[in-house]
Amino acid sequence: MRNSSTVASVGLESKEGVKLLVTAGPHARKMVGIWLFGSAAWVFSMVILGGVTRLTRSGLSMTDWKFTGQLPPLSDEEWSKEFEKYKQSPEYKRVNKGMSLDDFKFIYWMEYGHRMWGRALGLMFAVPFSYFLRKGYITVQLGLRLSGLFALGAGQGMIGWWMVKSGLEYAEPRVSPYRLAAHLTSAFAIYTGLFWTALSVVMPEPPAESVTWVRGAAKVKRLALPVGLIVGITAVSGAFVAGNDAVSDKLASILLHILLLLCWLWYVIRK
């Protein structure tokens, strides 16, 4: 019997002509699937936390960034130092002038939690990934796909700082809507990639080889693609609206959504 790691290194294991992304049987597929679904859920929570951070106007409270992270202020002196750095930012001068230290601590902890939650996600992804590779569960195709998603996740931190930096460099205390849209789009790409990969792992073949199932799957796909497009455009346009804080942009966004909905209805009826 061939060793599972050998199978993984050669390529995809075939089961009645069906290509599998995970070797070593159903239990291994279940373990990898749970890990990937959990990672996707973590990314989704990151998006929500990022939205809360923006709503509380906490995103510009930390005026520097380190790839490996840093300890939060642990003494009154360190808090005063961080507060003084924030006082040099456009947001403090134009929006939060006169803010108390306690109020600053709140927005600082919000942004710090958002950043560290992302770094924890990287650790949560990397450790099981290394374990499954060592056990030989993951095929070359899946390994390359997950490596790409991991690299995109690592780059997400740099994209986030690139976005925040735009709100610290100019007199207007807000981040660039283009960088905000790039940050959000990247997050959705990671989430979609993880969720799709998880589904591909746990459901490598249809539950029944029947014409009815194939037709049903085709119908779902026909509806899912335009809906996914509408959701994606809605999310990205929302980032531009939030970044610009403009009523005209909000009106344009609403009209765009109506147009997309009409196009989708026409697409469904035509099919």
Question: Each residue of 65-89: pLDDT tens digit?
Answer: 877 778 889 999 999 999 999 998 8
pLDDT value of residue 23: 82
- Kindly indicate the confidence band of residue 109, based on its pLDDT and cuts at 50, 70 and 90: very high
What is the arithmetic mean of pLDDT over 124-147? 92
Each residue's pLDDT tens digit, 161-218: 888 888 887 777 778 888 888 888 889 899 989 998 998 888 766 555 555 655 666 6
Quick one: what percent of the chain has pLDDT higher than 70? 72
Using a CB cutoff of 8 Å and minimum separation of 24, what contacts does 162-171 make?
164/59, 164/60, 164/62, 164/65, 165/65, 167/59, 167/60, 167/90, 167/91, 168/60, 168/63, 168/89, 168/90, 170/90, 171/90, 171/94
| 3-state SS class at 22 | strand
Model pLDDT, residue 8: 46
CB 155 within 8 A of CB 207: no
Sign of CA dihedral 158, 159, 164, 168: positive
Q: What is the pLDDT of residue 172?
A: 74
For 132, counting Cβ atoms within 10 Å of its Cβ (0-12 exposed, 13-18 middle, 19+ buried), the class is buried
Q: Give the tokens for residue 255.
A: 């009209």
Q: What's the DSSP call for residue 174?
A: S
Phi, psi values for residue 85, rounded to 5°: -65, -40
More confident position, 122 or 208: 122
Rounded CA gap, 250 and 184, in Å? 18
Q: CA-to-CA distance for 240 and 260, rounded, in angstroms?
A: 17
Q: Tell me what pLDDT residue 32 has.
A: 93
Mean of per-residue pLDDT scores for the chain: 78
Among the residue ranges 40-44, 82-86, 123-127, 252-256, the one predicted with the least confidence is 252-256
Distance between CA 121 and CA 16 in Å, rounded?
A: 36
